[in-house]
Amino acid sequence: MLSKKITCGVCGYRITPKKEEIYVAEEPRAFVDALTKPPTRFNAMDCPRCGCQIMLAVRVDRVNVPERNDADESEVAKDED
C-alpha cells in the first residue's frame, strides 16, 4: 500500500491508493498523432466515491541499454597497439 493520500479533483474525496486499484491508461490521440507520436501512458485509479479517473503519474517507455563487455574493450586496445 502506498502512504501518500490522493485527492479526487471532482468530489474532493481523499484516498490512499492500493496497488490492486492502480492500472495503466493511455491518453486518446487524433489519427495523425497516432501515426507520428508515441502514446502517452499513465498510472491511474478510479475514485471510489464518484468513479472519476485520477491520474497518478506519467509512464515513460523503458530503455534497454546493452551491457558493456570489458573483454571486448581490452581486445580493441591490444589491436590498436
DSSP-based three-state secondary structure for 43: strand
Question: 40 CB contacts (<8 Å, ≥6 apart)?
Answer: 26, 27, 29, 58
**pLDDT mean across residues, the chain:** 80
State residue 70's pLDDT score: 64
Which pTM was predicted?
Answer: 0.60
Which is more confident, 79 or 54?
54
Q: Distance between CA atoms of 7 and 43, rounded to whole angstroms?
A: 15
Predicted local confidence at residue 73, as pLDDT: 55
Q: Where do the structural domains in the chain lie, given as residue ranges? A: 6-62
Alpha helix positions (H), 1-81: 31-36, 70-80
Q: Is the pLDDT of residue 75 over 60?
A: no
